[in-house]
Amino acid sequence: MSCCYGPLGMELRRNLLQQWWLSVTGSTQQVFGINTLSSSKGTATDGLRIVESEQLKHVFEQKELSNQQLLQKIQTLIQRSPSLRTGFLQGALEQFVPSLELVNRKLPFGLAETGLCFQPSDGSGCPAEVTQASLVWFCPPRTSSQWLDHWNRQRLKWWRKFALSPSDFSSSDVPEEELEEAASRGVRILYRFPWGQEPVETLWSRGSTELLHTHNGVRAKLQCRDGRKSVPHVISVTGNMDRGVMAFLSNSLQQLKKEDSKKKMLQRKVLKLHPVLAPVKVALDIGRGATVELRQVCDGLLQEFIEAKISTWPGYLETMPTSMEQLNTKYDEMGVLFTVVINENTLESGLLLVRSRDTTIKETKHISEIKSFLSTYISAADNL
């Protein structure tokens, strides 16, 4: 299944990828980001091929060829056409040698990459596009098992950090019969969806076979300064970030029952996304008062929030009348952390109302302190 993202989903996935990147490349371990090509000329016999229509048309136009010759030409053309990557492992294995120079042949280190990968369709005819996040870790053979455990702990901790109920994420060893061919051990980080558990990230301890194969078995190119001249072992950590987005959406949605003023039971839907993941941090709206002046105040605040890189929903630009209750319902479903309301009071005293998504409590704050309040709130949640 491939998905298209609208503005909010896109921002959520962007935040998730950004956090993944920071946690992997910004750890005290040496991890470098790389960017490899998504198509390559390989000898793979299966998978997805990129065929140029023009070239094919050209073959079909060769009227002097027999059908048999045409068929052969087409077969050759397609066999020689580049394939689309299904993951980032191969690219990282190829980049191992140049990267080794960067660290003066010292292990361990890792190569990280995020982006699109492609998988053959399950019959629909359109290939599945998956946004993957990949860390390929190179370490001395004797410590590879410890490193697998290390990354497993780190990654599980990371997923749980952003969850409303952390225990929905768990990790479990891959049973021997499900191990990938090259792997000696595997661990999956699973999320408990309402319909069952699915892996969001998978770790494999892969030995050195694939690395050697990629570099045609030339051990000298691959050896490191660890005294034993050993060829490193490879650990791959691969996250499916589209499924990760689904996991956090599913994990964050709370349906609460509440009574309205007329004692009618209502359902309140709140998307309690973690503050650093929430696509919109604050909504800016206006209440009662002189519209022109209130809008000017909002323009100023919007500018201030943008400069502080606080993602803001400019609700005050909306000219259709909406009740505050309707707005709150909408913002809760969008996962907006805070709603700031500017009204005539603000023009006089500089005071405004700040409503929290999580507590539904409205607090009065001075306009001069609102930006730093929001920044502090978000970065405090980040550092928990």
Collapsing DSSP to helix, strand or coil, 327 comes out as helix
Site residues for its own copies, 50-79, by CB under 8 A, read: 50-54, 56-57, 60, 66-68, 70-71, 74-75, 78
Question: Is 366:325 a contact under the CB 8 Å cutoff?
Answer: no
Residue for token pair 């929430």? 278
Question: Is 127:119 a contact under the CB 8 Å cutoff?
Answer: yes
For residues 25 and 298, what is the distance between their CA atoms, to the nearest angstrom? 37
Q: Hey, what are 69's tokens?
A: 């010759």
For residues 218 and 132, what is the distance between their CA atoms, to the nearest angstrom? 30
Question: Is 370:355 a contact under the CB 8 Å cutoff?
Answer: no
Distances in Å between the Cα of 34 and the Cα atoms of 18, 98, 147, 272, 356 are 15, 11, 21, 33, 40
Site residues for its own copies, 7-26, by CB under 8 A, read: 7, 9-11, 13-14, 22, 26
Q: Is 43 a residue that touches its own copies (CB under 8 A)?
A: no
Rank residues 284 and 354 by Cβ distance to its own copies and give the closer one: 284
Residue 135 beta carbon to its own copies: minimum distance, rounded to whole angstroms: 13
Site residues for its own copies, 76-115, by CB under 8 A, read: 78, 80-82, 84, 91, 95, 98-99, 102, 104, 106, 115
Residue 306 beta carbon to its own copies: minimum distance, rounded to whole angstroms: 5
Rank residues 187 and 241 by Cβ distance to its own copies and give the closer one: 241
Among residues 254, 275, 277, 244, the alpha carbon closest in space to that of 333 is found at 254
Query: Per CB under 8 A, which region of 126-134, 143-151, 189-197, 232-240 contacts its own copies?
Result: 126-134
Query: Per CB under 8 A, which region of 42-50, 190-198, 262-270, 359-367 contacts its own copies?
Result: 42-50
Site residues for its own copies, 127-146, by CB under 8 A, read: 127, 129
DSSP designation for 46 = S
Rank residues 10 and 266 by Cβ distance to its own copies and give the closer one: 10
Chain-centroid distance of CA 280 in Å reads: 17
Residue 282 beta carbon to its own copies: minimum distance, rounded to whole angstroms: 14
Rank residues 97 and 174 by Cβ distance to its own copies and give the closer one: 97
Question: Is 252:271 a contact under the CB 8 Å cutoff?
Answer: yes
Site residues for its own copies, 286-325, by CB under 8 A, read: 299, 302-303, 306-307, 309, 314, 317-320
Binding mask 157-186 for its own copies (x = CB under 8 A): ------------------------------
